């Protein structure tokens, strides 16, 4: 499909979705975003699903998308076994009807499709799907639409490269995400982890410290925050504290 036509469709979709979900459903969507920022993708998926049941039809695709991302992380831990990939494929299928008229939902499907070769460490196929999902989300952004909910395609690309321990590619992906989406908690964590993998201790210290500064006194300690707290206790981080608000 020509790029100009896809942009036109995106703009039309934005107009069709101009009326937001209201009442309890709107509050649940806010909760989903907050949980996603705090690295709780499962909680975010559950909040979107509850919003859908409350009558917010726009929450259906994000709920399936986030369920698929949670399943993708579990599949990676199981080396992409056939059984572990099934929930991802079911999530992709559940978005089919919506994706027929919503380019944003098609972008969600592309991210989930890319998660399958990522879990199997199949770099060539994953790279092709990453390129396509980034193209789709970039067109959304050009059409003044928001990125994919909770975890953008640009952020997901960085995580996929991290799964393959390709830290240079991950750094580039998270840098692109920072430019397109901003310094989200996922970008801060991903950049830090990629830097640690590249043995760029200074950058890793800076980004982990920035993430902890953002986290502040929030309750709980997801694995990402636990990792950051452990890393910044290393002597190089303690010896060279970061000035608040800086970015290398």
pLDDT in tens, 17-76: 433 587 889 999 999 999 999 999 999 999 999 999 999 999 999 999 999 999 999 999
What pLDDT score does 241 carry? 54
What pLDDT score does 247 carry? 53
What pLDDT score does 239 carry? 75
What pLDDT score does 108 carry? 98
What pLDDT score does 198 carry? 97
Is 9 a member of any domain? yes
What pLDDT score does 240 carry? 60
Is 117 a member of any domain? yes
Range of the domain at 35: 3-151
Report the distance separating Cα 152 and Cα 146, nearest Å: 9
Is 158 a member of any domain? no
Is 93 a member of any domain? yes
Q: pTM, whole model, 2 decimals?
A: 0.88
Total number of domains constituting the chain: 1
Is 18 a member of any domain? yes
Query: How confident is the prediction along the chain (248 residues), in pLDDT tens digits per residue?
Result: 445 344 433 433 343 343 358 788 999 999 999 999 999 999 999 999 999 999 999 999 999 999 999 999 999 999 999 999 999 999 999 999 999 999 999 999 999 999 999 999 999 999 999 999 999 999 999 999 999 999 999 999 999 999 999 999 999 999 999 999 999 999 999 999 999 999 999 999 999 999 999 999 999 899 999 999 999 999 999 876 554 455 54
pLDDT in tens, 218-230: 998 999 999 999 9
% residues pLDDT > 90 (the chain):
85
């Amino acid at each position: 499909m020509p790029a100009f036509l896809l942009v036109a469709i995106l703009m039309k979709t934005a107009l069709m979705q101009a009326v937001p979900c209201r009442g309890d459903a709107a509050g649940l969507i806010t909760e989903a975003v907050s949980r996603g920022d705090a690295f709780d993708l499962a909680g975010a998926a559950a909040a979107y699903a509850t919003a859908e049941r409350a009558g917010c039809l726009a929450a259906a695709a994000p709920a399936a998308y986030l369920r698929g991302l949670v399943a993708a992380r579990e599949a990676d831990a199981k080396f992409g076994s056939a059984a572990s990939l099934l929930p991802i494929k079911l999530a992709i299928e559940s978005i089919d009807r919506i994706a027929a008229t919503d380019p944003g939902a098609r972008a969600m499907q592309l991210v989930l499709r890319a998660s399958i070769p990522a879990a199997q460490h199949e770099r060539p196929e994953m790279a092709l799907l990453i390129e396509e999902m980034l193209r789709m989300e970039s067109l959304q952004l050009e059409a003044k639409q928001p990125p994919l909910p909770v975890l953008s395609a640009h952020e997901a690309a960085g995580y996929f490269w991290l799964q393959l321990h390709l830290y240079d590619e991950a750094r580039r992906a998270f840098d692109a995400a920072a430019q397109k989406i901003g310094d989200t908690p996922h970008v801060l964590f991903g950049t830090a982890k990629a830097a640690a993998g590249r043995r760029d201790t200074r950058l890793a210290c800076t980004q982990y410290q920035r993430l902890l500064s953002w986290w502040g006194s929030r309750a709980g300690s997801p694995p990402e925050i636990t990792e950051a707290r452990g890393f910044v206790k290393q002597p190089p981080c303690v010896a060279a504290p970061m000035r608040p608000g800086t970015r290398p």
